[in-house]
Structure 1
Amino acid sequence: MAEEKRYPGQSTEVFPEPFNKPLAVIPTGKPGQLAEEKIKQFFDEGFLVVEDFFTPEELQPCRDAIEKMVDVLADKLYKAGKVKNLYKDSGLFQRLTMLEKEFQGANILLFKHQKMPEEFRNLWCNERILNLIEQIIGPDISGHPVWNMRTKTPLSAATNIPWHQDSGYFSNESYDHMVPTAWIPFLDATEENGCMVMARYGHKKGKVADHTCCAANTWYITLEEEEMRKTLGVDLEKDIINCPVKYGGFVLFHNITPHRSLPNVSNDIRWSIDLRWQSPHENWGFYGIQEGVEMRSSKNPNVIQDWDKFLSVDRKEVWQEKFRKQAKQTTDPFDTTVTGPWIGQWKIVNQNQHTRAYERS
């Protein structure tokens, strides 16, 4: 009997300690830090809903930045004859939906070609949120190279993200250390508009389970519920937790906590951003494509973020050039195909335009 093929992402190794035990449990009283019981809850359950953290004044610049990004995309589509209307009066929570109705894949284009504006950078290294992250990974903090603005337009299959662990998208070097994520919505995140769903305790074994690729007509990997139950010990009846959160709050979770989002069946776009951090002393787990950006150092209290170096690498352009069979197609500004190294990490059980475009480098 032939031995079953193993895929690069598969691993029998387990690393429970970094995901179950904080490096620093006692709050030091810095602004933004959480009570000790909240930090313990984060490590115990694998996630935490943090309420009322940011003020509207802190988040409004990010909303403004998103509006500018949509405006640029609308002009691009209009000038190319892809849409007949700029929909300038539709507003932040409707305009991309209107563009999507004329050019299916507009939300993918915005996801695929987004650049990190200054307003997002300021949120990422916000003093209070770094104080909180310090409670989880210690005083040496860098921003992880993977961040995403989510363009979850209503009823869009392209934004329905299935169950997965974040490390399933990273290389195996990410499996042994904590990469905390803050998922920050730019409106009230509800079950109707597609809030996050967490598999409580799915991180306890310190293991990345087997995923498959790719879900439906997307580039997303999938962690099947039976695999969650069998390999990670998730109780599918008791441990699946919907996480609605008000504007100003966010969901904080581990890189090996299984999670997904609900479909957006509302009338509004559910805008959000996910930001990640890790210790700069750990491997970035990012296929050698890009390093993170230093934000705090125990040896240098006056760290200045080197944004020029960080922004000099566009990871999504690198993916298209390095992991695509016909790289010349990436010059099409309206191409909605997404490829990347994670596709080669797992068994491909469903072929689509994204998997067909992929080429192992």
Structure 2
Amino acid sequence: MVVLSVPRVDVQRFHDDGFLVIEDVFDPVLDLDPVVREYTAKLDRVADAWAADGTIPSTFADLPFTQRFAQILNATGSIGYRPFDICLGGPFRTDEPLEASMHAGPAVFNMMRHPRLLDVIEQLIGGEILSNPIQHVRIKPPEAMLREELVKRNTMMSAVAWHQDQGVALPEIDQTDILTVWFPVLDATVENGCLCVIPGSYHRGMLLHCPSRPGQGFDLRIPDEIRGAGGIPVPMTRGSIIVMHRQTMHSSLSNKSDGVRWSFDLRYQPVGQPTGRPWFPAFVARSRQDPSQEVHDWRVWADLWEATRLHLADDTSGMKPRRWTGTEEACA
């Protein structure tokens, strides 16, 4: 077994470019393969339940993961992605378990607080690290396998327009030293829809965002006339990560391959700063000052989301609107 050294971060380059790719943060076999197994088991459970209640016509158990996931999404529509994301999405209901509302499992949690990942983050924001609840897993089958409606209306399954992560949170986050961490579960290539970034773009500050699609309050984009030119694709091998400043402009390409493009999109910040989604639960991933505050048990993390789910099922009044209305002149 290869013992990986502590990843060293080129802090100056990160400050120059607003992003940094760091190789070999994770061991693909020891760290990422358990995530694949956990999601494969989750897909089995969800398919069995939905086939039993008639939500889908079959479990599609004879298909490989990519084709099976695509068939289930085609049969259920956008709502079918809910059990697989690592963040709650509406509708919020009391008559279903957390298992049906999002995914919270030990393999995913272990990735979120992986020591080598936290070593990278600590070099950029210090040793008091909060796991921000703006987080997603994106499992994108080839767009050719999906119904056109899904590709057009849901960025969990399709390309993501140019945006800044600060732009999709409440203004309270504007002074938070939030760091985006993105990593592929399988290799991310130009063909299957890797990220694209604009080096140095965060130096321009916060830019206007508009809804990418009618009625979408969460799916935002920077208008082309504001964004300007530029942008480079960033292919990545499994085990690597990219860290980005909260104002770095980035997007993703379409999956035109015959395999899945699978990635995690996480956020970290110093403890004590606003998260931009205060109705969702954050947790302390590392504290050099008070390690007793750290959450080490994935079940504690899952319980935080369960309590949030039950609360939001009764009262969503605390979920404040985003900063952009879509009525701005450039959005017309």
TM-score, normalised on structure 1?
0.73
Determine which of 108, 121, 142 is the counterpart of 1:120.
108
Determine which of 60, 64, 76 is the counterpart of 2:49.
76
For the residue of structure 1 that corresponds to 2:134, the secondary structure is coil
Q: Work out whether 1:55 is the aligned partner of 2:54.
A: no
1:79 deviation in Å?
1.8
* Fraction of identical pairs, as percent: 25
After TM superposition, the structure 1 = structure 2 runs for residues 326-337 of structure 1, keeping only pairs within 5 Å, are none
- Name the structure where helix makes up a greater proportion of residues: 2
Determine which of 119, 130, 135 is the counterpart of 1:147.
135
1:341 deviation in Å?
5.0
| Aligned equivalents of 1:151, 1:59: Cα separation in 2 | 14
- Give the structure 1 partner of residue 249 of structure 2: 258
For the residue of structure 1 that corresponds to 2:201, the secondary structure is coil
- Give the structure 2 partner of residue 104 of structure 1: 77
For the residue of structure 2 that corresponds to 1:267, the secondary structure is coil
The count of aligned residue pairs is 294
| Aligned equivalents of 1:101, 1:65: Cα separation in 2 | 22
CA contact (8 A) 1:107 1:153 kept: no
Query: Which AA in structure 2 matches 1:289?
Result: W
| Aligned equivalents of 2:180, 2:68: Cα separation in 1 | 28
For the residue of structure 1 that corresponds to 2:65, the secondary structure is coil
CA contact (8 A) 2:191 2:256 kept: yes
Q: Work out whether 1:94 is the aligned partner of 2:67.
A: yes
Change (3 A) 1:323 1:214: farther
| Aligned equivalents of 2:67, 2:44: Cα separation in 1 | 12
- Give the structure 1 partner of residue 6 of structure 2: 32
Query: Which AA in structure 2 matches 1:34?
Result: R
After TM superposition, the structure 1 = structure 2 runs for residues 168-247 of structure 1, keeping only pairs within 5 Å, are 168-205=167-204, 207-215=205-213, 219-229=218-228, 236=229, 239-247=230-238
Change (3 A) 1:185 1:342: farther
CA contact (8 A) 1:284 1:291 kept: no
Determine which of 18, 31, 39 is the counterpart of 1:46.
18
Q: Work out whether 1:272 is the aligned partner of 2:263.
A: yes
- Give the structure 1 partner of residue 93 of structure 2: none
CA contact (8 A) 2:26 2:239 kept: yes
| Aligned equivalents of 2:312, 2:220: Cα separation in 1 | 16
Change (3 A) 1:95 1:317: farther
- Give the structure 2 partner of residue 137 of structure 1: 125
- Give the structure 1 partner of residue 164 of structure 2: 165
| Aligned equivalents of 1:173, 1:144: Cα separation in 2 | 13
- Give the structure 1 partner of residue 92 of structure 2: none
Change (3 A) 1:341 1:154: farther
| Aligned equivalents of 2:309, 2:241: Cα separation in 1 | 25
Change (3 A) 1:291 1:323: closer
CA contact (8 A) 1:96 1:107 kept: no
Change (3 A) 1:167 1:71: same
1:104 deviation in Å?
3.2
- Give the structure 2 partner of residue 16 of structure 1: none
